[in-house]
Structure 1
Amino acid sequence: MHIVIGEIAKEGKIVLPSTICEEVYDAFENDSSLEGIIVCEGFKPIGLVMKTHFFHRLSTKYGFDLFMKRTIDRVMDHVPLIVDYSLPITEVSSLAMSRKVDNLYDLVIVTKNNKIFGAVSIRELIMKLAEVQIRNARFSSPLTGLPGNIVIKEMLEEVLTYKMFSVLYIDIDSFKAFNDTYGFSTGDEIIKETATILTDSILTKSNEPSFVGHIGGDDFIATIPHYCHKEICDTIINRFHTTLEKFYVKEDIENGYVKVLNRQGILEQTPLVSISIAVIQNINHSIPTLEQLSKEAAKVKRSCKAIRRSIYLTLEEYDKLAAEKTHD
């Protein structure tokens, strides 16, 4: 479940920098639930006054007499944490927790289009994070810990609203032959290793907001909000092949295949596992529904698997190959 900070922001009390401290004092006194006040110039937040910090300054020797008739810009925090509406709550949490100890529990100010939108308390942020983590754990794959089909469906519905998107369907090919040769326990290790490779390659800051899910078995799915898939796919394939040395005996690596009994009881040479990535993008295609996305992915996946080696193929490339075959 992808939650951005703006979704949990609430309208906050706002004052001008020229507001007298006595007015701020009265506001805090009259509303016991008020944690902090945002200082804005026009619609732009420029400071924050937290109740605890404000009353602490007034409690110092001569503090009350010194500040009460002065403007709030003299005592406000001039560098509060200000984040954009679209920032994921996980990232906001990291920023909030990296603040100085004295400011750990200060409000997080939220802007939208560079204008004040609201604020989020640390309590609200932690509660929402816990809610998301509990929900993800409930609907996650027990093997990989990645989100499962319920969360995947919700995420894809959101992704289809993006101006640009790439949805990556990832399959491990020849996986059954590997399981038959090396056992299900070792097969599980390959699946977990693949999950690690995918999260390392896709869930990066440059790809935000991105997503990786485990459909089940040896099938995964990932999303990125752009069309720059090539470097990502190359990285996934290269890391996948490098890690295979941990799972195969040397002889099978050198041969490039394993011998597996087919349904007729005859030994066959089956290729080592490889990885196929079907990349579905909305470059020149309208993909308004999950049904359409699934339909486009199915045909690209079939083409990937027919090549019988690690490969990634986009919907655009599939269309070109199909046109060439028709022309021939």
Structure 2
Amino acid sequence: MPSASHVYQHLLEAMPVMLWTANQDGVWAHVNGAWIAYTGVIGQTRGFGFEEAVHPDDEARTVAVWKQAVEQRQDYQIEYRLRGQTGTYRWFLTRGVRVTDDLGLQLAWVGTCTDIDDRKRAEQQAIDAREAAVRALGLVLEVRDRETKGHTDRVMALALRLGQALGLSEAQLETLRLGSYLHDIGKMVIPDAILLKAGPLTEQEWAVMRSHTLEGERFAAALGFVPPEVLELIRFHHERWDGGGYVTGLSGEAIPLLARVFAVVDVYDALLSERPYKAAWTQAQAADYLRSEAGRQLDPQVVATFLRSLQEGPAAPD
């Protein structure tokens, strides 16, 4: 008659879900047949033992989360891509649970890897559809506002490049992406007589023009899927570092960071673009203007980072 341990081992191997165990230091000690059948990785390879199968773009993030869980002795879960034996990657949700004795002392870890690839693909399709919709709104406004063709995509690319140079998170970069598409959507309600006026605006006309930030925030909020951080960017991207901007008169670091970041690239691209009331500036002229406005209109540290990033490559995508 097989022992209880042999029966338990057989059950583990027969489970259709990937199962794993690790010692108290987090080093994977055992994986079941489902893990081996999918990944082809048997036993410890390097590091904690799972890295060989993890997508290279997900490895650093995954190891960091696992290290933190081991150090703080806390249960954890994370989503990452695992390579199958065919060489393709699928998304999995991995959960790890601490195993303790009667005294509460940690003995080991046990965990599961659950295939969530279909859900992740559906989520990405929804994200792609959302981005296509907001980009289309930006392009419609670009035509109506008679912006230089490509302004919407240029400021988005510049904003992402600056955000990466500043070390912003993926969530913050996504906010910059959506905010770039929607930043001036409030101009949809500005009358043509004001929006397209070739000459200087009167004080009354300027008051109407300034309202586009609030109107844009209201319009974007009505879409129902725009995150609060994007609404902040829309509302505050015309504030000034010295407090002389609109619509609230915020100054310095009281202005949301992403609004300060976007303001730099928005000003820069506007200077490079030909408008009814001005000729296009050169990149050198625009860079000089940013330097002169650092600490006045614009966040000086953001300006410095942006100018450094311009020296590392072309000013805008082709």
- For this structure pair, what is the TM-score category when the shorter chain's length is used for normalisation? 0.3 to 0.5
Higher relative contact order (CA 8 A, sep 6+): 1
TM-score of the superposition, structure 1-length normalised? 0.37
TM-score of the superposition, structure 2-length normalised? 0.38
The structure carrying a bigger strand percent of its residues is 1
The structure carrying a bigger helix percent of its residues is 2
